[in-house]
Amino acid sequence: TLAARRSELLEELNADLDGDHLCVRADVSNLADCGRLVEETVSHYGRIDTIVCNAGYGFPRPFVEMSSEEIARIFQTNFFGTTECCRLAIAQFQRQQPRDGYRGQIMIVSSACARRGLPFFSTYAATKAAQLSLSEGLRIELKPRAIAVTSIHPLLTETDFFTTAQRLTGISTAALSAGRKQSARVVALKMVRAMQKPRREIWPAPMSRLSLNIAVMLPVVVDSVLSKIRDRTIADSGGGENHVVPEEHPVGETA
C-alpha cells in the first residue's frame, strides 16, 4: 500500500513501481485517516507485514516564536500520527499468523537528531526523540508477541525537506543542511533489507551512530559546533527577523 496526502504524487509513484499498488490518500494528523489506511490495506491484502511510519515535517524557527498551535500540529503529524498507526497495526498483527517468524513489523522513520537536538529545529527534534523512545519501548514490549520494531535514523537525505522548510519561514537552512547527502534510494534499500531481516535500528549514514555516541560523551564539543551553526544560520537569515507563519502540514508524506 502507498499512502500520502497528495494523490497525484501517489499515482506517479505507483506508475514508477509498475502500477500494482493500492493507493490510499491519507493525512496521519487525522486519526480517522490512520484507521482507514489500515482497514483498506487489510481488506485488500488480507494482512499487514510491515507498516512504515514516515510522515513528518519541520521548519526552522526560534522556539520562543513558535505558537502553541504550531507545536501541537507538528506533534500531531510527526508523533501522534505514528502512535495511531502503530496502535492499529499492532492490533492487526496480533490477529495474524506468523510469517518467517514474525506476525508483523513496525518501522518508524525517526532521525539522527533524535539523539541530539538542533538549534531552530528543537520542536522537530523533540518529535523525533519521542519516536525513538516509542520504538525502544515497543521493541521490548512486543518481542514476545513476534512483532519486530525497527527505527530508522537518517542524517542528511536528498529530499525537499530543507528547501521547503526555508521557503516557509525565510530562515536559512544552509548551515544545518551542509554536508554530503544520501539519496532517498540508498536509505530505502537499507530499509528493505531490514524488512527482509528485521533489525533494531538502521543508521543509513556511515559512522553517524558512532559520532552521536561520542557526542553524548563530549557534549561541550558538540555544543561548540552547534553554536557555530546557530550563528551562521542567524547571519545567513539577516539577523533572524523572519516571521512567516507556515501553512498547515507543509511537509511530509505517509508511508
- Active-site entry in 45, 57, 102, 124: 124
End-to-end CA gap in the chain? 8
Give me the sheet containing 201-202, strands edge to edge: 50-53, 104-109, 147-152, 201-202
Contact (CB, 8 A) for 94 and 145: yes
SS (HEC) of the chain: CEEECCHHHHHHHHHHCCCCCCEEECCCCCHHHHHHHHHHHHHHHCCCCEEEECCCCCCCCCHHHCCHHHHHHHHHHHHHHHHHHHHHHHHHHCCCCCECCECEEEEEECCHHHCCCCCCCHHHHHHHHHHHHHHHHHHHHHHHHCEEEEEECCCCECCCHHHHHHHHHCCCCCCCCCCCCECHHHHHHHHHHHHHCCCCEECCCCCHHHHHHHHHHCHHHHHHHHHHHHHHHHHHCCCCCCCCCCCCCCCCCCC
User: Does the annotation mark 45 as catalytic?
Assistant: no
Q: Which three cell numbers stand for residue 231?
A: 550563528
Enumerate the active-site residues. 124
